[in-house]
Amino acid sequence: MSTPILSTDFPETLKQAVTEAVKLLSSGEVVALPTETVYGLAADALNADAVAKIFAAKERPTFDPLIVHVPHKKDLDVVADVPEDIAPTIRKLIEKFWPGPLTLILPKKPEVPDIVTAGLPTVAVRASQNLVFNRVARSLDRPLAAPSANRFGSISPTSAAAVHSELDGRIPLILDGGACHFGLESTILKVEAASPKAKLIILRPGPITAEDLKPFGKPVAIKNLKDDEKPEAPGLLSSHYAPRTPLRLLESPDDFILEEGKSYALMSYRGEPDDGYTDLADWKMMQILSPGKGKLPEAAVRFFYALRALDECGADEIIAEALPDRGLGVAMMDRLRRAASLR
């Protein structure tokens, strides 16, 4: 059976959609919901059988732990214990960034089933700022486990239509909250006490950038840690954000060599001929992330949409221009490197 999509555009449709979602979630079902980052596939985080349905629908291996979304900031205590030595830093981070796209890794409460955390002693927690998600979470008044609503390893969905193409027939309901505000998955952070400044280990770069985090401690990218310093983050190694079409990330247009008989599609940052990419080939499709001057937040919102369109256009290979490796560009470059590294 095809999965229904419910609109939330009007007060009346929003109310009906929330009621329907809450009914399903309280009976142990999964529902796809919009968040400010990407669409999530939600289930009651404290119900192991419900959470198992997330893994089944996504074909996600059970060693990859899920993010838990709490209805209110104060509900952090329901799922996590905050160690005393990092409590002041955690409090400040939550004050500044919640509800919003910052996920914190903290010791888990015993009430959180092992399936949620893949047996880890820690849990990933955030509070979403999306209106539809919040209405559902607050009506249900329970934490919601919600990974991105795509098949495992595939491109994260930033629209209800994208969720539908990933999970149609595998889940009972999708709520349509329109396009996602940020378009990239949350920043995942592990905080370690250190002197003179707390160490803020960025396990996954996202909308909250290293620059944003600076006032709260010393941001460190995980790739800059030695192997024996790396925290355990099993899923991060295996999340690929991968299109089915091979993707090549080019640092410079000079690196491109055209192969006769092969068709190519381009993901361009600004679409400016002066950047040297637009005239390199007879592109089957060109997706421009932020035409003109190039603005990273605009590029981020369009990023997964563009990647999905390029994947579906039938080209033999996707060529991606390198983006500026700063601010939100760091998160997009991380996704592109993972997508490219698969082949």
**Closest separation between CB of residue 120 and ligand TXA, Å?**
5
Is 122 a binding residue for ligand TXA by CB under 6 A? The answer is yes
The radius of gyration computed from the CA coordinates of the chain, to the nearest angstrom, equals 20
Find the binder of ligand TXA among 34, 71, 219, 235 (CB under 6 A).
Answer: 235
Binding partner of 120, given ligand TXA, Mg ion, none, CB within 5-8 angstroms per partner class: ligand TXA
Closest CA to 124 of 33, 207, 234, 279: 234
Stretch that binds ligand TXA, among 219-227, 234-242, 296-304, 307-315 (CB under 6 A): 234-242
DSSP code at position 84: G
The reply to whether 35 sits near Mg ion by the rule CB under 5 A is no
What's the order of all strands across the beta sheet hosting 218-221?
A: 5-7, 174-176, 31-33, 40-44, 144-145, 67-69, 122-126, 102-107, 187-192, 199-204, 218-221
Q: Specify the residue for token string 């991968």.
A: 242
Contact status: 148 vs Mg ion (CB under 5 A): yes
Closest distance of CB 155 from ligand TXA, Å: 11
Taking each helix axis as running N to C, give the angle between helix 328-341 and helix 296-312, from 0 to 180 degrees, rounded to the nearest 10: 20
Distance CA 159, CA 163 (A): 7
∠ Cα 337 101 60 (to 5°): 60
The stretch among 44-52, 59-67, 249-257, 261-269 that binds ligand TXA (CB under 6 A) is: 59-67
C-beta of residue 167 within 8 angstroms of C-beta of residue 286: no
By CB under 5 A, which span of 12-20, 58-66, 73-81, 145-153 interacts with Mg ion? 145-153
Is residue 209 a contact residue for ligand TXA (CB under 6 A)?
no
Residue number, 148 or 209, with CB nearest to Mg ion: 148
Binding part of the chain for ligand TXA, among 141-149, 170-178, 212-220, 244-252 by CB under 6 A, reads 141-149
Q: Which does 271 bind (CB under 5 to 8 A by kind): Mg ion, ligand TXA, none?
A: none
Give the pairing type, strands 218-221 and 102-107. unpaired
CA proximity to 130, closest of 204, 209, 71, 193? 71
* Residue with Cβ nearer Mg ion (148 or 245): 148
The two three-digit tokens of residue 270, written as one number:
């600004």
AA identity, residue 130:
N
Query: For 199, which DSSP code?
Result: E
- The number of angstroms, rounded, from the C-alpha of 295 to the middle of its chain's C-alpha atoms is 20
245 lines the binding site for ligand TXA (CB under 6 A): no
64 is an interface residue for ligand TXA by CB under 6 A? yes
**Position among 137, 140, 146, 289 found at the interface with ligand TXA (CB under 6 A):** 146
Question: Among 22-30, 36-44, 168-176, 301-309, which window interacts with ligand TXA (CB under 6 A)?
Answer: 36-44
Helix locations, 27-130, DSSP H: 48-58, 76-79, 87-97, 114-117
Instruction: Determine, following the binding rule CB under 6 A, whether residue 236 of this chain makes contact with ligand TXA.
Output: yes
Q: Which of residues 165 and 263 has its CB atom nearest to ligand TXA in the complex?
A: 165
Q: Indicate which of ligand TXA, Mg ion, none lies near residue 122 (CB less than 5 to 8 Å, by partner kind).
A: ligand TXA
Residue nearest ligand TXA (C-beta atom): 235
Q: How far apart are CA 148 and CA 249, in angstroms?
A: 24
26 CB-near residues (< 8 Å, 6+ apart): 44, 140
Contact stretch for Mg ion (CB under 5 A) within 89-97, 129-137, 141-149, 214-222: 141-149
Nearest approach, Cβ of residue 336 and Mg ion (Å):
15
* Chain residues that interact with ligand TXA, rule: CB under 6 A: 35, 37-38, 40, 64-67, 101, 103, 105, 117, 120, 122-124, 146-148, 185-186, 188, 203, 233-236, 239
Interacting residues toward Mg ion by CB under 5 A: 148
